[in-house]
Structures are given as structure tokens and as C-alpha cells.
Amino acid sequence: MKQLGKTLLWIWILILVSLNSWSMFNGKTQSERSINFKAKERPNLVLVLVDDLGYADVGFNGCKDIPTPNIDRIADQGVIFTNGYVTWAACGPSRAGIITGRYQDRFGFGRNPLFAPNDPEMGLPLSEETLPDVLKKANYKSVAIGKWHLGAHESLRPLKRGFDDFYGFLSGGHQYFPEKWTLADEYAAKSQGGGYRTKLLRNDERIDETEYLTDALSREAVNYIEKYKDASFFMYLAYNAPHGPLQATEKYLTRFNHIKDIKRRTYAAMVSAVDDGVGLVLDKLESLNLSKNTIVVFLSDNGGPERGHGSDNGSLRGTKGHLLEGGIRVPFAMMWPSKIKPKTVYDNPIISLDIFSTIIAQGEKSIETKNPIDGVNLIPYISGDKEGLPHERLFWRTYDKEDYAIREGEYKLVQNSEEEGVFNLQNDLSEENDLQKKLPNKYDLLKERYEEWQKQMKPPIFMGLKQNSEYNKTHPKRFVKSN
């Protein structure tokens, strides 16, 4: 009997050890594994943000001379937002709105920031919680790839703003060919334009890259998807293409020999390079069986500059920098195969702030945020579960020019330095017929509502690109590395 008792005791010990080992597979405890499974109920997010893309320069918006089959896959397999907006008509403030889910003027990001590595105030203020900060509460891994432009100071860089990985550059633009990256780091820049020639960063380390910039960013995106395939992840894939300088490799240029205008041809080649990269990302998601539970969003940070750039905003009047439709209405599409029906078209106005709100709203309950968010969860509107407009009205402000715009339903009031007008966008997409005299009450109401909104906003907290010379005078050690 004693021998039998010993045998039974050893059997129980073996069972307990086996159960404990099973509960700690992959180095995780049972509770940690439960958290991970719960996190996986939330979708991944791949946000593809391009730079200075014209509204009419993608296939899903009718482009004929630049094929974009992979970008169009997002639209075909999901939803096209025909009235999709960003929060500013140029790079930096638009990105600040996207990454915080808040109108950037709420926290004083009303200018395009300068490249100033010694200035902790030149960029996204630390009072703001970023999308990766919030997603970290649900155990997401977050990766930033490409253009940052939210602060070059060490306290403002991606790894300090919630991201786990970063591959890219800190300035507002960059040269595309590696042989032009001749500056060792940000302190070798010596001027605003010098930021375009710095070596790339992987996290906090400068590296030697050999590929054409757009191709390198696409390669890294695919690699990071592989790295985080077993986690819930957010990828911020911020291509700087087709922002100037207009530079493309022969691989892409030869696809457009039929385009005689050299600027349009080079621009087309740059868009095509992005499209190839989007295809690699989508293919990777499919090969890893991640597509069904991944939200993929594609948009531009503002409208195309058109003149001298090769971009085309189609029938929209205005360009980058303008609060007319050509500056703020952008190519905008989203796919999520498990929730969004293919070939959906959504016509009500939405804005880039809604990306933030949409992703944090998924799962059993919305992730709490430190600050009030201006965006809304778009999924119930796209599916038809929720009727009405996602936003009663949308607002824009260009502080230094004293320009502003407000859209309410089909009506839009625009105040530009050259003109002021009320337009019915449903009947007048090109904003050519001013209704201010015909609809004075509408004009007064829209102006009153804009002024109410503006009272909640702050003036810019830093100098911008227009104040570059003034900034240099007050910051003579702008590029001097301190001890």
C-alpha cells in the first residue's frame, strides 16, 4: 500500500507540473494569456498615410493615367468616403489631428513645425495622448514607419510618443535616393532643408540604407507585420511620396513613358511605387491570415499642390494650403473584411479624426482616453446600424492667414485671404457659385457657429515654416548639440 501511495503522489505531481507548463506556454502565465486573447478580439490597424496626393490621382476616384490597383483593392474590398476630409491643408497639423483624434488647434498645433532638434516645444505637446499611447492600454504593439514631422527633439520622437518601433525620418520631407543622405544626424543639418538629407533612423540609431526610400518603407512595413503577427498591432505607415522633391527610379519611370510632361511622369512613378508597397502590405496580411481582422485605411494628409508638382485634384477647386475642397478633401478609403461590405460607398462627410475613434471603439468596450476626442466611430454609420450624419459640422482654421471654413450638411462657408463665400457642395463641388447674398441667414449662422468653435481653440504654441528666419534669429544654437 505504501508503494501504491507513493506512485499516486508522483502521478499527481506530474499532472500539476504538466498543467502549470501548459498554462505558461510561450513564456506567458494563464492570466497574461487571457489578456492577450482578449486583446486579439480587437482588430489590427494599418494606417497608410501618403503625402500631397491629388484627389483625382487614384483609380477609385477616377484616375486614368496612373493605375493604382493595390490602393484600389482597399476601396473595392471596403468603403470609399466620397466626402473624406483632413483637419488642415498641409502636413504637420493634419498629422497632429490624426494621431490625437483631436482638432490640432485645441492644443496649439496650428502651424507646420520647423526642424529644430534642440527645441522640446517644437512639435506635438506632451499634454496630448497619442493613438499608440491609448492602444497600449489594450496591449497593442505600435510601429511608426516613414515621415514623422511631429517634433525632432528627443522628447517628441516616436518612441517617446507611444510607439514600440520607428523606421524613418523626423523632418517634414526627405530626399528619396540613399546617395543624397549625406548628413550623419539632425545636428549636421544646419538649416531647415538639411533635414531632407539626414540618414534614416531605426528607433534611436542612425542607419545606412541602400534602397529607394519608398521601397525601403514598404519593405520595413512587411517585416514589422511579420514581427507582430501574433499581437494586436497598429502600423502607422506614413509614406512621404509623392511629396517633393520629385524623384523616382527607372523601375517606376518606365511604366509611364506615355506621359510626356516630365513632372507628371515622375509624380506618377512615385505614386506607383507607393501602390506597389500597399500591395506588398495587403499580400502579407493575407498570407498570415490577418486580413479579416485588420482595418486598413488609406488617405492623403492634404490635397495635391498641383502647380509645379504634377498632382491633380480633379474638379475640386483649390490646392494644398487652401481651405477650398482641393486642399482638405482627400482620397480616403477603408477596409475591414469582417465588418465592412465590399464596394461600399459612403457619401456623408467624415474626417481623419474618426480613424482614432473608430479603432478605440472596437472590442467589448471603448478604450478610455485622457482627453476628449473629436472623432466618431464610423463603423455603425458605414454598416447602416446608425442613421444620420457622423458630424453635425466640421471646422478648419489657418491661424496666420486668418482663413477658416465650416461645413454643415451640404453647405460650406469659406473665408480665404482672396475670397469669402457660402457654397452648396452637393450642387457645386467646385465652389464656384457663392450663395452668400442669396442665403444671408445661412451665412450668419455658419459664421456664428465657427466663432463659437474658435473660442475653444488655442493660438499656435510654436513658430512655423513661415517664421523660419525669425526663429533662426531667436535660436542661434538651433543645430548645436548640447552636452
Grid coordinates belonging to 112:
507646420
Grid coordinates belonging to 264:
507628371
Residue type, 235: M
Domain 43-383 has CATH 3.90.420.10: no
pLDDT of residue 20: 44
pLDDT of residue 26: 40
pLDDT of residue 34: 31
pLDDT of residue 227: 98
* Domain segments of the chain as ranges: 43-383, 394-462
Whole-model pTM over 0.75? yes
Ordered mean pLDDT values, 10 residues apiece, the chain (483 residues): 47 44 37 38 96 98 98 98 98 98 98 97 98 98 98 98 98 98 96 97 97 98 98 98 98 97 98 98 98 98 95 97 97 97 98 98 94 98 96 98 97 92 97 97 98 98 97 96 80
For the chain, what is the radius of gyration of the CA atoms? 24
pLDDT of residue 18: 44
From first CA to last CA, the distance across the chain in angstroms is 77
Burial 110-149 (b: 16+ CB within 10 A, else e): bbbbbbbbbbebbbbbeebbbbbbbbbebebbbbbbbbbb
102 vs 107: CA distance, rounded Å? 9
Phi, psi of 138 (to 5 degrees): -110, 20
pLDDT of residue 15: 43
- Please give the order of strands across the beta sheet that includes 205-206: 205-206, 201-202, 165-169, 141-147, 233-238, 44-50, 294-300, 332-335, 79-81, 344-346
pLDDT of residue 482: 81
The residue assigned the cell 502600423 is 235
CATH architecture classification, 394-462: 2-Layer Sandwich (3.30)
pLDDT of residue 364: 86
pLDDT of residue 400: 96
Active site residues: 91, 149
22 vs 423: CA distance, rounded Å? 65
pLDDT of residue 418: 79
pLDDT of residue 40: 57
